[in-house]
Structure 1
Amino acid sequence: MANYRAPLDDMSFLIDEVLDAGTQLGQLPAFAELGVGSELTSALLSEAAKLAGDVFSPLRRVADQQPASCSDGKVSITPGYAEALQQLGQGGWLGITADPAYQGQGLPELYGTAASEMWNSADMALALAPILSSGAALTIAAHGTEEQKQRYLPKMHSGEWSGTMNLTEAGAGSDLGVMQARAVPEGDHYRLYGQKIFITWGDHEACDNIIHLVLAKLPDAPEGSRGISLFIVPKYLVNADGSLAERNDVFPVSCEHKLGIHGSPTCVMAFGESEGAIGYLLGEENRGLACMFTMMNEARLKIGLQGLSIGQGAYQQALEYARERVQGGVPIVQHPDVRRMLLTMKSLIEAMRALLYSESLTLDLAHSGPEADRPAQQARIDLMIPIIKGWLTEVGQELASLGLQVHGGMGYIEETGAAQYLRDVRISAIYEGTNGIQAADLVSRKLGRDSGATMAKVLAAVAATVAELAQSDNDSLLAVGRALSATLEQFQGSTEQLLKALQENPDIALGSSFDYMMQAGYLLGGWQLARAAQVAQQRLAEGADNDFYRQKLATMSFYAEQILPRCAGHAGAVATAAGMLHQYPEDWL
């Protein structure tokens, strides 16, 4: 099994030609001095690809077989992991999109997304460490005092320190309002007591310190989620000059034994088992959940990315196997059903990447674009995040399963490594809010809060692309346009039905929210794939003699023929949500 090889051609094509990052971002004040454009894209992606292929990828199978473990309040991680994370920090990758005022690189999120895709394809368990650390740093940057930013961020961006988020407690799950962790005021700090579970990269010795962000309740706090505050709780306390002081009262109790991502130390963390863990308020009292959502939204984008990343890794291995495995006198890549599976994987991967990169650009525009445009861009990315997290991770599971299926019986044998992709990606539909929660958020909050106005703007952009396709002189694009037009009409009908259901019976709307989320993903992924196909056709019309562009057109045609019809099934389920799904008696289940 060869090491992971980054699909640099498709990544560069999307960033430079389809999204035109040099124009969209390069002229913004925040990025004007960075030289955003094809030269930066090529240099950055090439270096990230080397790290993914040469450093991360060889550790994927090692970590699966030599998982993280916990003993006597200390976590041991997979051999090679510490060195890989140190290389990540030394290369400036941990602060790639962070503020240069705090030792970040200040690059657009679009580039950070591309780099993170490669690392997650190469070894998802290892890539979780920078995802959590950058999310914690982002939360401190958004809500911390200047003193807190100066104290923690430079060393988190350099990789000398890492970060975590501590939300979940045993018996609470996603219902954070019933948490038991408490924080007691003591002078200029607080003492924290309680346990948290499922803490990704909760403890390790790969860096000098770990900055935990912990949700807890103050004495006499309001009931439910309105009474939650957020605290910075360092593994080692930090002196005024930035040097490390004594060990804080926070320790790992155990590492979870998991289905996949074995190399990632998922810890039960104990705070205040003796004198109380010292913590510092981040943001305002009783506003912790709002602060933590800064990190959670960042994490949800990156978890969605994991569905794409694992799909790419699984596809790469399946394609390699299909070209080598001979059956019936020919490589199985020539067998029609294997061809179906591989084309399904390829087309969905390219649609997922196109959607993810497009919305990473939206995130950049929301943060750094023209001031007057930022609210609309923020509304769009808020709408898109549950779709990206939910649809990409659901499809990622399908792709990992197809990759295993291409291997036949050998896929079911652990030695091939095909099964690991399926085991690793399965968590992505669960953590950072299950996909049912993402679907409910999409419909009840993001769609409902403005009566569908933001979704209407997105669909107007889809309609504009459909109109352009209808004017094409290319038969393939004309056919794609017809398929996309019919799918758009179906989705507009689903949207109208759900907006009505939200007013009349929200339970019916929630019952069909998952199908609506999936319908949205397939439509919007197809839209972005069609935009890419338009650019490819334009390059060919200009005289380019490049099979890559011909592949883009062919892949979009396959997607329109074989994948877009899935939307009709989801539309049908949305249309009948008031039927037996809603009426079935609970005690008959």
Structure 2
Amino acid sequence: MANLLNDRDLQFLLYEFLDTEALLKRPRYADHSRETFDATLDTARQIAEELFAPHNAKGDANEPQFDGERVHLVPETKAAWDAFAQAGFLSAHWDEDEGGLQMPEVVLRSAIAYFKAANVATSTYSFLSIGSANLLRSFGTPEQKARFLAPMGDGRFSGTMALTEPGQGSALGDITTRAELQPDGTYRLFGQKMFISGGDHNLTDNIVHMVLARIKGAPAGVKGISLFLVPKYLVNEDGSMGERNDVTLAGLLHKMGWRNATSTVLSFGERGGAVGTLVGDAGKGLAHMFQMMNEARIGIGMCAAAIAYRAYWMTLEYARERPQGRLPSCKDPLSPQVKLIRHADVRRMLLAQKAYAEGALAMCLYASSLFEDQHTHPDDTVRRNAGLLLDLVTPVVKSWASKYGCASNDLAIQILGGSGYIREYPQEQLYRDQRLNPIHEGAEAIHGIDLLGRKVVMQSGAAYQLFRAALEATLEQGRAVVELAPLTDGFAIPLARLDKVTAQLVQLQASDPDRALANATIYLDAFGRLFAAWIWLKQALAAQRGLAKANEAERAFYHGKLHAARYYCHWELPATLPQFDLLADVEDTPLTMQDAWF
């Protein structure tokens, strides 16, 4: 089995691309060391290889089954969940007084990448549980935390996010699930939720659903939405398990990928109302839930990066071993066939895979480092700026990693040829798993409108200006390095076009928002290409520093980084220019197309 990820690349990203060791100077991490960080990664890799990866194909071939009473998963799923929980990953980033290890966010997310690469479906249960527990930590009452937080941290309880309804997809302001206040201060919930990942299973004693609903009498729209904690089983004051709550599994959905992660339709209130308790403030449910949604968006980007990375790693191994044809310069039909990797076009595709997979992983860890700075940096200004930048880039990280993760997995199949699309090889499943990510946590258009319609204009463009300043600082560093100066040349025109188009479309939003945002997905992609090019330039700077002091064994790794950066800046970055032409012209062919003309 090919490696899940490149361990050396993770070390590079944590300690050369990002200065993760600098976190040790912060009081919160004083008891940690680089050794504890590396031990965390080693533990994650070992569990992922031994307990997650082996049943990836089995879980795909043997989907969860509902017998009318219980949901059954392949038994290896439970062993993987237990190992993950027992190793402390569910609560590793919590405060010590909550039972956590105060692990830096960027280290934890690096460790979790191994699990996502090994088995994205099985890792989904922990992914959602971590997010729902974080939501409880942020907005829960002391009583809610006393009953639910510890068992969520040690793996006895799992968690979900229940947003989507059968009649409403991403238009959360229109949800109809209702909550009725009871004399004892609890609520009774009535409604149905759909596409709820991890909504039922046999891994834990209880499942804690974080549910968006509208309190009876609340106003229409997002201001009438509140957040509720609704457990599968009620929990008594002493922590013991109570009776089954009025939450019913209405059915399992059958996805093209992530098959071992249950996707459920849940009914609330078929027998008098599901008991729930309000989390946070009434009417602010969607604002509260955005914490988990944004965490999940970066998480989906990491899913995409990890799946792309595993596919790339497998493809690279295949291309190095598979004989296929001869070079154009060879005219001797009796000469030995060369390995696939000797062909220039195969190297082109491998370079694209490398640029997408390694770029996506770097992008996600950069976002995690912003989250870290937002919460633990000692300087107030740095914390504020990190939060603004994270808000800006979250839709870009989610969408770019997902879109180009799919492109990477598509290339993996192409390089393997016929072997790529048969189930006897893992690439077929990895592609199916990857294809869910551009839809999970919002389709591209949603994030394009979010980026152009909200994020670049928030606080009078403060986040956008921070992004531009950070990019310019990196370009200045690159221009000072002889070997990298040519890479920086390609940024000038796209950045000038980005500034001009952004200003133009922001102004147009005031008078004609439908027209201004009609091509927001193109804007998102162009922005993402620039962002990815910046991430690769930052990696190139780190690689150039590393190369200057590398021994012979290390030089190939750094050359690989530098060449991937050259590839992205020379082949991918220029593709923004025709996109900016469309945006500047406010090209309206899709907007003006009529229903009847289809």
Q: Same fold (TM over 0.5)?
A: yes
User: Number of matched residues?
Assistant: 583
CA spacing shift, 1:40–1:508, aligned 2, 3 Å: farther
Distance (Å, rounded) in 2 between the aligned partners of 1:90 and 1:226: 40
Q: 2:254 aligns with which of 249, 253, 257?
A: 257
Q: Does 1:41 align with 2:37?
A: yes
Amino acid at match of 2:374: A
Query: Taking structure 1 as reference, are residues 32 and 502 closer, same or farther at Cα in structure 2, changes over 3 Å only?
Result: farther
1:16-39 deviations in Å (ceiling 9; x for gaps): 12211121x22222223323x3x2
**Which residue number in structure 1 is paired with residue 455 of structure 2?**
446
The two structures, once aligned, show a CA RMSD in angstroms of: 1.7
Query: For 1:112, which of 108, 114, 133 is the aligned residue?
Result: 108
Question: Matched residue of 1:428: which SS?
Answer: coil
Question: Among residues 339, 345, 351, which one is paired with 2:347 in the alignment?
Answer: 339
What residue identity is the alignment partner of 1:32? A
In 2, the alpha carbon distance for the partners of 1:317 and 1:418 equals 8
338, 360, 374: which is aligned to 2:368? 360
Q: Give the CA deviation at 1:532.
A: 1.8
Q: Could you say what secondary structure the match of 1:15 adopts? A: helix
Q: Could you say which residue in structure 2 is the equivalent of 1:21?
A: 20
Superposed, which structure 2 residues align to 1:296-335 within 5 Å?
A: 296-328=293-325, 329-335=337-343
Where do 5+ consecutive residues of structure 2 fail to align?
Answer: 326-336
In the TM superposition, what is the alpha-carbon distance from 1:58 to its structure 2 partner? 1.0
SS of 1:215's partner is strand
Q: Is the counterpart of residue 537 in structure 1 residue 525 in structure 2?
A: no
What is the correspondence of 1:222-301 to structure 2 with a 5 Å cutoff?
A: 222-301=219-298
Letter in 1 for 2:259: H
- Report the secondary structure of 1:552's partner residue: helix
Counterpart in the other structure of 1:9: 8
Matched, 1:395 2:404: yes
Query: What is the aligned counterpart of 2:93 among 97, 113, 131?
Result: 97
Matches within 5 A, 1:64-83: 64-83=60-79
The separation in 1 between residues aligned to 2:28 and 2:510, in whole angstroms, is 42
Matched, 1:464 2:483: no
| SS of equivalent to 1:30 | helix
Q: Is the counterpart of residue 406 in structure 1 residue 412 in structure 2?
A: no
1:494 is aligned to: 501
Conserved in 1, the CA contact under 8 Å of 2:298 and 2:367? Answer: no
| One-letter code aligned to 1:316 | W
Q: Deviations over 1:62-83 (max 9, x none)?
A: 1110111222142111230011
Residue 215 of structure 1 pairs with residue 212 of structure 2: yes
Query: Displacement, 1:314?
Result: 1.2
Shift of 1:586: 4.4
Q: Secondary structure at the match of 1:258?
A: coil
Give the CA deviation at 1:311.
0.6
User: Relative to structure 2, which stretch is displaced further, 193-202 or 171-180?
Assistant: 171-180
Divergent runs of 4+, >6 A: none
Q: Which amino acid aligns with 2:32?
A: L
Aligned to 2:574: 565
Q: Deviations over 1:391-450 (max 9, x none)?
A: 111111111111111111121212212111111111111121222111111111111223
Distance (whole Å) between structure 1 residues aligned to residue 481 and residue 3 of structure 2: 37
> Does residue 167 of the first structure (1) align with residue 134 of the second (2)?
no
Tell me the CA shift for residue 3 of structure 1: 5.2
**Once the 2 structures are TM-superposed, how far is the Cα of residue 310 of structure 1 from its aligned partner?**
1.2
**1:3–1:53 Cα contact (<8 Å) kept:** no
Q: Secondary structure of 2:200's match?
A: coil
* AA of the residue aligned to 2:10: M
Secondary structure of residue in 2 paired with 1:245 = strand
Deviations 1:300-353 (A, max 9, x none): 110111111111011122122222222221221222222111110002222222
SS at match of 1:192: strand
1-side partners of 2:581 and 2:524: how far apart? 13
Q: Does the 8 Å contact 1:231/1:279 carry over to 2?
A: yes
- CA–CA distance in structure 1, aligned partners of residues 281 and 405 of structure 2: 38
Check the 8 A contact 1:69/1:75 in 2, yes or no.
yes
Q: 1:471: how far off? A: 2.0
Which whole-Å CA distance do the structure 2 matches of 1:448 and 1:562 have between them? 30
What SS does the corresponding residue of 1:455 show, helix, strand or coil? Answer: helix
- Residue 371 of structure 1 deviates from its aligned partner by 5.2
CA contact (8 A) 1:75 1:252 kept: no
The answer to whether 1:31 aligns with 2:29 is yes
Match of 1:62 in 2: 58
- In 2, the alpha carbon distance for the partners of 1:568 and 1:229 equals 43
Q: Is the deviation greater in 52-61 or in 324-333?
A: 324-333
Amino acid at match of 2:234: L
Deviations 1:466-521 (A, max 9, x none): 122222232xx121111233433332233223222223422233122111211122
Contact map agreement 2:4 2:117 (CA 8 A) in 1:
no
> For residues 62 and 135 of structure 2, what CA distance do their matches in structure 1 show?
32
Unaligned runs of 5+ in 1: none
**1:112-150 deviation line (CA, Å, top 9, x unaligned):** 221222111111111111111111111111111122122
CA contact (8 A) 2:5 2:310 kept: no
1:73–1:253 CA contact under 8 A, matched in 2 = no
Give the match for residue 425 of structure 1.
434
Contact 2:51 2:79 in 1 (8 A): no
* 1:55 Cα deviation after fit: 1.5
What is the CA distance between 1:378 and its match in structure 2?
1.0
1:552 aligns to what? 561
Return the alpha-carbon distance in structure 1 between the equivalents of residues 479 and 181 of structure 2.
Answer: 65
